[in-house]
Amino acid sequence: MNKLDLLYDVLIDKIWSQTFYNEQMLLMVNPVARELFMRLRDEETQHVLVLRTEIIAMEANPFAPTKILPGLETRPRFRL
């Protein structure tokens, strides 16, 4: 599993957490508890934004061919 797959797994987990906190917030009658779930939901929203930014940056900058095939540097007959 590579870093991008791990980031997608964490993103899915954060989105589920965000949904859970939002649902719980809507069910709360106590204003203090409602505020707590609202803050937790907003914190997860920030995490989702950071993860999406990181994923987009990784997908926009693919690896150089020498990183994918490290043998290209040691065997110069393969010129790019």
**Domain ranges in the chain?**
3-74
At 23 the pLDDT is 96
- Over residues 9-67, the pLDDT tens digits come to 999 999 999 999 999 999 999 999 999 999 999 999 999 999 999 999 888 886 655 55
At 42 the pLDDT is 96
Contact between 4 and 58 (Cβ < 8 Å): yes
Q: How far is CA 25 from CA 30, 41, 43, in A?
A: 10, 9, 14
At 34 the pLDDT is 97
Question: pLDDT confidence of 4, banded at 50, 70, 90?
Answer: confident
At 3 the pLDDT is 87
Residue 5 corresponds to which tokens in the numbers above?
């797959």
Compute the distance between CA of residue 64 and CA of residue 24 in angstroms, rounded to an integer.
45
- Kindly give, in sequence order, each residue whose CB lies less than 8 Å from that of residue 14, ignoring residues fewer than 6 positions away: 44, 47, 48, 51
